[in-house]
Amino acid sequence: MKTQFIHKLETKFGVKPKSDSGFSLIELLVVVLIIGILSAIAIPIFLGQQNQAKDSAAKSDLANAKVAMISYSVSNSGAWATATSQLTAFGFVQSDGVTSVTIDSAPPAGAAFCISAVSGANNTFHVQDTGGVATGPCL
């Protein structure tokens, strides 16, 4: 009799019986808060990784363009290409994450050619016949 009375009171006032299971509103809010904090930490790191990937694509394109430029020169009696469109026959293809790849019309002193690329993250890189990929535009 006493248990029936308590059960009726609990039902009337919205108190859930001990047999019911579930999460309270506070517990759900804590979980949502934790997920929000973790995503606030992870999203900037993810965006930084995307920019690094775009920079790597630009550096890779420059290395490929250098090989294509040397192949072009060997096939054309020592003449250098003046446009990247001339390098496509020698295997050069510009990546999606790269904004532009250009051949400098006036290479720096002591260099036969200089090719520059701008990554999707707006960073500039260049390569010359005498070295590897370096940061910055052709001088």
Render pLDDT for 119-132 as a digit per residue (tens, 0 to 9): 999 999 999 998 99
Render pLDDT for 95-108 as a digit per residue (tens, 0 to 9): 998 999 999 988 88
Tell me which residue of 41, 113, 46, 109 sits closest to 73, measured CA to CA. Answer: 113
pTM of the full predicted structure?
0.70
Please compute Rg for the chain using Cα positions.
31
Q: 62 with 138: CB under 8 angstroms?
A: no
